[in-house]
Amino acid sequence: MDILKGNLLYGQSGGPTSVINSSAYGVIKEAFLNKDYIEEVYCMKHGIQGALHEDFYVMSEQDEAQIELLRHTPGSAFGSVRYKIADANDDETDYIRLLYIFKKYNIRYFLYNGGNDSMDTCYKIAEYMREVDYDIRVVGVPKTIDNDLPFTDHTPGYGSAARFIANTMMEVSYDMYAYPKGKVTIVEIMGRHAGWLTAASHLASLSGWGPDLVYLPEVPFSIEKFKADIKKVYDEKSQCLIAVSEGIMNEEGIFFSSASAIKDAFGHFQLGGVSSKLAQIVNNEMRIGSRSIALGSTQRSAAHIQSLTDVNEAEQAGRKAVQFALAGDTEVMVTFERVSESPYTIEFKKHPLNMIANQEKKMPRSMINESGNGITEEFIEYALPLIAGINEPKFINGVQSFSKFK
């Protein structure tokens, strides 16, 4: 297949991570290395909405120093979005607009950086452009702290979030044991249907300061068992530290959290309040002092503790996406294949978008202990390489310096 000549359009979508901008860095720098085929790089402001509104950052006009800072910048430097485009068979409006924009700016490479829902957007666009015979290469760049994309060993963003969670749990644990008799402390961690993030709390145990109990969406949650587990730990230690996924649910698959009736554009309920609800139960029914902590968006935005492995792999995912597109690949997402544990080594592969869009990868049951309230050695061996190394932050006057584009 011949290499196309034209421009590249890149966008970020869904929940930010502390390393999504490292993928952007990889895309931009790799594209700049191939100016014979990629004449300009446009970055959408707020994902696909930026394309629809013809609102871009022109990267050749940006300060090089700001581009270099992308590897140290959390959030979405170009703006993210949760926008669901309709199926083309139901409503072609967005697709007709995108086709117009693609032709106007000679966009021949479309790279979209996101998770499950973003890959759905990516696939729909690729499918429509193929049907109208517009020659364009569409490649998905993986991103999600949830680590729930299928057909890849892990996802960029997870390693840094896991590192933050493990260290935060260690600090909370160390603080809790400052007193001879304390409380039941319940820490709420992101994770709607998959417990990868909450499981990372257990990595703190390697230093002796991890959670006593861990509850994940993969195991049906029982209040009676929860109270029995706490009593056993508290009777022994006079303290109890618990990590719980926001997405725990009962045998019927009903979320335990005080989920609001609000859904996002992709139909996902907005979860929250698990830790406070559980703390009330411990206080009122068990008569034990309890407090709740919700890590919230800090889990995905902690650039000061980025995993160097995560940053480097995120950048390489962006570079590989450009390389795959130039080689003629389209309607694929970059994936990671772990080929060695010692030394830890991955290879970059690709997988069809239609097999990834809207799919989720849950934690294997073998990574969860038999009682369903803890984590096994298998998970530790899986996760440890992903949190390795530190990407030294860029500080000015004691605070971090982040990218800013115009």
Catalytic residues: 146
Q: What is the dihedral of CA 329, 333, 339, 342, to 10 degrees?
A: 130
Are residues 403 and 70 in contact, defined by beta-carbon separation less than 8 angstroms? yes
Are residues 361 and 150 in contact, defined by beta-carbon separation less than 8 angstroms? yes
Among candidate residues 194, 205, 213, the one with its CA nearest the CA of residue 167: 205
Are residues 361 and 382 in contact, defined by beta-carbon separation less than 8 angstroms? no
Are residues 400 and 72 in contact, defined by beta-carbon separation less than 8 angstroms? yes
Q: Supply the DSSP symbol for 86.
A: P
Instruction: Please report the beta strands in 198-356, taking only residues with DSSP state E, as ranges in sequence order.
Output: 213-215, 240-245, 290-294, 332-341, 344-352
Angle, alpha carbons 251-227-380 (nearest 5°): 75
Return the structure tokens found at 172: 């909370």
DSSP result, 26-48: HHHHHHHTTTTTEEEEEEETTTH
Among candidate residues 389, 397, 395, the one with its CA nearest the CA of residue 19: 389
For residue 107, CA distances in Å to 2, 232, 266 come to 16, 61, 27
Give residue for tokens 């083309």: 88
For residue 343, say if its preceding peptide bond is cis, omega within 30 degrees of 0. yes
One-letter amino acid of 343: P
